[in-house]
């Protein structure tokens, strides 16, 4: 059954959300983890879809699902821009004739017209291909975080605000604390982010892997990734704020003595992050949570008030109002 899907046209349907059977979806996701050739086929299908879109060949339901589902991944949106730019660099027949005329300028110099023409095309193609290559490479972690964002669009796994995730109500999850999304999808995200760390070792890659572990409630792993990232970028407010969020979640699941220590660690990191950038709403929100968890009522009320001065009309603000009401009752 899955071999039938190893066909570019059928894989296009998968990318457009037109594979309805859950068994087939699970088999595709499992194959993507274990079969590099199958992953290559999927990349080819993705590239052809982008070409079809840029060339105006998508219409109707295909176009609607392309805009609504396919473009949810930032990497794909970036590719569209670079494909458009690359197509602009490919000369038309008329443009080729102009290049030939310009190439004749080099006659009598060190370059022959034919060589000059060839070099002109190489430069043109090289600029486009370089832009395309760097565009693809730049957003490896963005793609994984976008997939993670989709998983938690209806419920969030931790109380703290996590950078990059939109608002969703906090749901008390059963069992080991995971939601009902595909285990295979989450493992693929983990594998991709681990690979990004191994290959790049950047603050961005450590932060992204730390965010993944935070959503998985693997707080020690999350703290470790954030701390490694901070060694090279100690003034990065985002990763320091995420470290504070991880300490907060770890504190809530610790005994009394350790809880106090981890809450202090969390508050320290969040305050440092705010010294770097006091405009980040997720850090202000999490600081108020920490102070509330510490039972420092006056300080917590002040922190929630400070947050609401900067965010008065959002679902996060609604939650802040509810927390504030609890403290004032």
Q: 293: domain CATH number?
A: 1.25.40.10
pTM: 0.63
- Average pLDDT of the chain to the nearest whole number: 80
Q: Let me know whether 248 and 181 are in one domain.
A: yes
**154 or 292, higher pLDDT:** 292
Give CA–CA dist 236/223, Å, rounded: 15
Domain of residue 104 covers 75-138
Q: Let me know whether 154 and 301 are in one domain.
A: yes
Q: Let me know whether 148 and 257 are in one domain.
A: yes
Q: Let me know whether 169 and 110 are in one domain.
A: no
Q: Let me know whether 192 and 311 are in one domain.
A: yes
Chosen domain end from 34, 57, 72? 72
Chosen domain end from 119, 138, 157? 138
The count of domains in the chain is: 3
Chain segment 207-257, per-residue pLDDT in tens: 999 999 999 999 999 999 999 999 999 999 999 999 999 999 999 999 988
The length of the chain, given as a count of residues? 329
On whether the CB atoms of residues 166 and 186 are closer than 8 A, the answer is: no
Q: Let me know whether 129 and 277 are in one domain.
A: no
Please give the pLDDT value at position 142: 84
Chain segment 59-95, per-residue pLDDT in tens: 888 888 888 878 776 667 777 877 776 666 555 555 5
Chosen domain end from 55, 72, 89? 72
Q: Let me know whether 152 and 252 are in one domain.
A: yes
Q: Let me know whether 298 and 212 are in one domain.
A: yes
Give CA–CA dist 248/232, Å, rounded: 23
Torsion of CA 49, 53, 57, 62, to 10 degrees: 70
Chain segment 211-220, per-residue pLDDT in tens: 999 999 999 9
Q: Let me know whether 150 and 125 are in one domain.
A: no
The contacts of residue 204 (CB under 8 Å, 6+ apart) are 141
């Amino acid at each position: 059954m899955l071999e039938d899907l190893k066909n570019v046209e059928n894989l296009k349907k998968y990318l457009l959300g037109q594979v309805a059977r859950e068994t087939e979806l699970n088999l595709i996701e499992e194959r993507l983890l274990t079969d590099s050739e199958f992953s290559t086929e999927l990349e080819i299908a993705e590239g052809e879809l982008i070409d079809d879109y840029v060339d105006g060949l998508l219409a109707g339901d295909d176009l609607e699902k392309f805009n609504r589902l396919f473009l949810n991944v930032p990497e794909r949106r970036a590719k569209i821009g670079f494909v458009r730019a690359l197509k602009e660099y490919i000369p038309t027949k008329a443009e080729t004739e102009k290049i030939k005329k310009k190439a004749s300028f080099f006659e009598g110099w060190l370059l022959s017209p034919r060589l000059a023409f060839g070099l002109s095309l190489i430069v043109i193609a090289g600029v486009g291909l370089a832009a395309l290559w760097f565009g693809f490479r730049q957003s490896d972690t963005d793609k994984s975080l976008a997939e993670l964002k989709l998983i938690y669009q209806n419920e969030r796994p931790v109380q703290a605000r996590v950078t990059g995730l939109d608002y969703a109500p906090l749901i008390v999850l059963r069992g080991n604390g995971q939601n009902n999304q595909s285990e295979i999808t989450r493992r693929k995200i983990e594998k991709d982010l681990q690979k990004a760390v191994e290959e790049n070792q950047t603050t961005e890659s450590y932060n992204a892997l730390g965010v993944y572990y935070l959503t998985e409630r693997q707080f020690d792993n999350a703290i470790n990734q954030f701390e490694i990232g901070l060694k090279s970028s100690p003034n990065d407010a985002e990763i320091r704020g995420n470290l504070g969020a991880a300490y907060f979640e770890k504190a809530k699941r610790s005994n009394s003595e350790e809880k106090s220590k981890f809450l202090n660690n969390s508050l320290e990191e969040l305050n440092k992050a705010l010294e770097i950038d006091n405009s980040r709403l997720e850090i202000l929100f999490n600081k108020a949570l920490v102070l509330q968890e510490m039972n420092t009522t006056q300080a917590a009320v002040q922190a929630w008030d400070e947050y609401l001065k900067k965010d008065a009309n959002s679902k996060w603000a609604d939650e802040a109002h509810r927390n504030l009401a609890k403290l004032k009752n």
